[in-house]
Chain A
C-alpha cells in the first residue's frame, strides 16, 4: 500500500484533470443527463469551488469523479486523470487504493454519514487500518490526535461515544476527521455546511481550510452558496443543468462575471446592508428537465438577457478577457451586446415565460 501511495509522488502535472466527463442515469423516462461534458483541472493544494443550484449536477459530478455512483444504471464517459493516471474506467476493486488514501469525501448531512451503531473511534480507525499498516494502538492514538486536530474537546472520551451523543457540528467534525484519516491528496467537500446551523458553518469551513493548508491538500468544495466559496476557493466553476456555464479564478468571477446565471446566483444572496423587508431576489422558474434538455442555452427559459439566438443555438464555451476565464453565453453580462439584449427585453417588455409566471402567481 505505502509503496503505491508514494510511487508517483514526483508527478508534477495537475493533480486532477477531468475532460468531457458525462454521467447519465438510466431511468424509465429516458437518460438523465446529470453531468454533460464537464472539463476541469485542479492543481495540488488548490481549492476549486463548484457552484450551482439543486439539481445542477454538482454532487453527481463529485461522485462521478470519485467513481462512487450506484453500480447499476449509470453511464459515464470522458476522462478523469488523477496524477496523470486514468481512473474513469477503473473497477471499484482498483479504485479502493485511491478511496480514502488519495481522495476522500465529506458529505452533506453529518446525521446520516456516520454509522449510528459504531463508536466514533472505531469509525476513524477502520479507515486508518484499511490503508496503513499500523497496530491497533497506533491507529487509536492517531484517531485521537485527529479528533484533537478537528477541535473535538476531550477526544479520548469521544472515541468511545456514538454519533447520536454529539451535536451536528461535532458530527461534521468527526466526518472531517474520518475523511482526513489517511491523508488524502484531494478532498471533496459536498455541501459540508448545508445541514449545519449557521453559527457553526464558518467554524467548520475554517477548520477544513486550516487542515487543507496544513496538509497541502487540494479540495473540491461543492456548494449552492456563492458566499461560501467567495473567500475560500482559488477558482470557481458554475454549473447549470450538468454543464459548466462559467469558470474563472475567484476574483475574476466576482469582478467580471459574464454568465447571466452567475449574476442571478450572486443576486440571490441576501445582503446584510439591505433594508429590512426587502424582497429576496430569486431566480424564477426551475432547472430544466435533464431528460430532454432545451435545444439552445439551458438557462434561456429563465434568463433576463434571452434572445432568439439563445433558444435555438447553444453557446459554446469561450474564453473571457482574464486568463482562465471561460463562459457559455451569446449575450454576456457587462458587454455591449449583453447590455443591448437586456435593454431590448426591457423595452419590449419581453421577459422569459418562467419569469412571467413567477411574477404573477395563479
Chain B
C-alpha cells in the first residue's frame, strides 16, 4: 500500500505536527481569547475603531456602471466642446461664416462645395459643428447659471423655512406655492419680457440675453428647489444634533450653515443635475417661442428655432441640436440618479 501523502495543513492553522509543538507566539496569534487582541490596534484587532468600508471613504469612481461612465464621458465631451469653442483654442470653422453654396447641405455632402462640413450646414450656409459647439456653451451657461441662481436663493429660503418653521415657513411656503401656481413657461416668458422691457424703457443698454434667461429660468426654479430644501431641512431639524448644537449655544445662522446645509446638500445636488437638464430644455423652449438668445449667437435652442421651417427639406439642421439636447438631458438625468443613490447610502451609515 502506497504511503498516504501527508495531508497538507492549511497555512493559516498552527502546525498540528506533534513533533513540532506550536511556538508560544503561534498559540497567541491564533487564540481568539488572546488578551493581546484587547489592545487598541485598529489595524490588527478592529477593537476601538470601527473602520469599516464606508461610502464616504470610497474612491470617487469606484463601483460605477458602464452607463454611468458613458454619461460622465458625454458630459465631459460637451463641456470640453463648449469651452474650446468659446475660448477659440480649437476651432471647427467660423460659426458666423456663411458660405452660400453650402446652405442646407446635409452631413457628408460632397457636392456644391460642402466638403469638410461633416455635419452639414444650416440654412445660411454656416458650419453645423462650429455652431453646435458654440451653442453648447450658450446652452450650458444659461442652464448652469439658472440652476445656480435657483439653488442659492431657493435652497437658502428653503432651509430658512424648514429650520424656523412657524410664520416664516408659512410665508415662504405660501410664496413658493403662488409661484408654482403660474405655469412655468408663462412665468418665464413674463419674466423675460419684463426684464427686456425694463432695459429698453430706462434707456440704458438692455441686460445681455444670456443674463435675462439665467434670471428668468433661475427664478422659475426657486420654488421647486425651495420646497425640496425645506422638506429636507425640516426633517434634519428634528434630529437631536440640531438641538444639541443649540444646547451648546450655536446661533441660528451657524446651525443652518454648519449643521443643516451639509446634510441638505446631497439631496439638492442630485436635484441640481436634473435641474440643469430641465433648464437646457427650457432654454430651447423659450428660443422656439422667440425669447431666447438672439441670433446670430447660437444656442442649441435657437439653432432649432431659426431653421425649424426647414424641418422637411433639411431635417439635419433641427435634428442635430435636438440629438445634442436629448443625449445631454439623458446623461444628466442618469447622473442625477447615480448621485442620489450614492448619497442615500449615507442614511444607513448614521
Give A contacts to B, CB under 8 Å: 66, 68, 70-72, 92, 96-101, 104-105, 107-109, 111-118, 126-127, 130-131, 153-154, 157-158, 161-167, 175, 178-179, 181-182
Contact = CB atoms under 8 A, between A and B. Distances in A.
A122 to B, nearest CB: 8
Given A99-B247, A99-B249, A164 B350 contact: yes
A178 B42 CA distance: 24
Top 9 A-B pairs, shortest CB-CB distance: A100-B249, A100-B248, A127-B248, A99-B249, A113-B240, A164-B349, A153-B40, A117-B262, A72-B166
B262 A71 contact: no
A287 B166 CA distance: 30
A149 B81 CA distance: 57
Contacts of B50: 165-167
Contact of A105 (B247, B258, B263): B247
A181 B248 contact: yes
Contact of B350 (A105, A111, A167, A178): A111
A178 B246 CA distance: 12
B349 to A, nearest CB: 4
A135 to B, nearest CB: 19
Contact of B249 (A96, A157, A158): A96
A120 B187 CA distance: 46
A116 B263 contact: yes
Contacts of B246: 68, 92, 99
A166 to B, nearest CB: 6
Interface string B104-148: 000000000000000000000000000000000000000000000
B63 interface: no
B244 interface: yes
A96 B54 CA distance: 36
A182 B48 CA distance: 26
Contacts of A127: 248-250
Interface string B257-293: 0110011000000000000000000000000000000
A255 to B, nearest CB: 36
A178 B49 contact: no
Interface of B: 40, 42, 48-52, 54, 56, 164-166, 239-241, 243-251, 254, 258-259, 262-263, 346, 349-350
A178 B248 contact: yes
A257 to B, nearest CB: 33
Contacts of B244: 105, 107, 113-114, 175, 178
Contacts of B258: 115, 118, 126
Nearest to B48: A153
A113 B241 contact: yes
Nearest to B266: A117
Nearest to A188: B247
B243 A107 contact: yes
Contact of A109 (B48, B164, B240, B250): B240
Given A116-B263, A118-B259, 14 more contacts: A71-B164, A71-B166, A72-B166, A96-B249, A104-B247, A117-B263, A126-B245, A126-B248, A153-B48, A158-B49, A161-B49, A164-B54, A164-B350, A166-B50
Contacts of B346: 116-117
A119 to B, nearest CB: 11
B247 A96 contact: no
Contact of A115 (B54, B166, B263): B263
Nearest to B250: A130
Nearest to A108: B240
A68 B245 contact: no
Contact of A112 (B40, B51, B56, B350): B350
Contacts of A158: 49
A111 B241 CA distance: 9
A214 to B, nearest CB: 20
A105 B241 CA distance: 11
A130 B240 contact: no
A114 B40 CA distance: 23
Contact of B248 (A112, A130, A163): A130
A297 to B, nearest CB: 33
Nearest to A104: B247
B168 to A, nearest CB: 10
Given A111-B350, A164-B349, A167-B50, A182 B164 contact: no
B38 to A, nearest CB: 11
A100 B244 CA distance: 9
Contacts of B164: 71
15 contacts: A68-B247, A92-B246, A98-B249, A99-B248, A113-B240, A115-B258, A116-B350, A117-B262, A118-B262, A127-B250, A154-B40, A164-B54, A166-B50, A178-B248, A179-B247
